[in-house]
Structure 1
Amino acid sequence: VKEWLAEAVLWAPWRYRGICRAAKPSEILALNSQRFGEAMSHHPKSFEFARRYGERFVRYLNIGSPSDWSDVLRDEAFINLAIKDGMECEEMLIDLEEEE
């Protein structure tokens, strides 16, 4: 199972919700959220995708109660919708570039 742990730290001030233990050997990649944002800002299309995804992520968190928040987001419908929204925005940017 591929899961993201504490993705929220990329999009909002975040406090970890508990202790995480892997059920089997796993790989972990740690990102500095500030450096992530700085790196993304050098790539306009990717930045716009990430910005829209992050905005939708924060709206999703704000719909629920903080007591329901988790370090692991398992709402596949939300993830698919957020990715689709970001991709549509990226396609719009590509279309604008082609018009120039």
Structure 2
Amino acid sequence: GHWLAEAVLWTPWIHLGDLFALQESQVIVVDATKFGEAVQQARPLLVAVSSYAEKFLETLNQVNKRDLTDLLHNIVSSQDVIRESGFRVPHSRTHLDDSDGDLLGGFPKALAKWRRRLGCIFKRTSTTSG
């Protein structure tokens, strides 16, 4: 799978054009506002996500403006950004597992806990080509 328009989570972003699936696809929509609210519920998580966002924007700012697109996975590797940002999910009372905190560590479980608390951050949709 690939990210689509991840930049909208970290910076003001304008979408240009329409996107069409060439094959059956599944899309998970992240509400950027609710995502931000969820991350702010735990200071250690906010610090970790902020370091990722800073590195993502630093990488994005190195891209030629003519090459910018909602399909940044061809230009910006999220895994490289994670590695280069030193992103670690810190251990805290809100942390839900015993992972060592490397890379994403327990982030998905922690986010799921805040998601239940704040309402739905994610909306799943399916598309079929046609």
Moved over 2 A (4+): 43-49, 74-81, 88-91
Amino acid at match of 1:90: R
State the one-letter code of the partner of 1:19.
D
Structure 1 residues without counterparts, runs of 5 or longer: 95-100
Query: Match of 1:79?
Result: 78
Q: How does 1:10-49 map to 2 (within 5 A)?
A: 10-49=9-48
* Structure richer in helix, relative to its length: 1
Displacement, 1:23? 1.9
Give the C-alpha shift of residue 17 in structure 1.
3.2
- Identify the residue that residue 70 of structure 1 maps to in structure 2: 69
% identical equivalent positions? 29
User: Normalization by structure 1: what TM-score?
Assistant: 0.73
Name the structure where strand makes up a greater proportion of residues.
2
Gaps of 5+ in 2: 92-130
Q: Provide the TM-score with structure 2 as the length reference.
A: 0.59
Backbone CA RMSD of aligned residues = 2.3
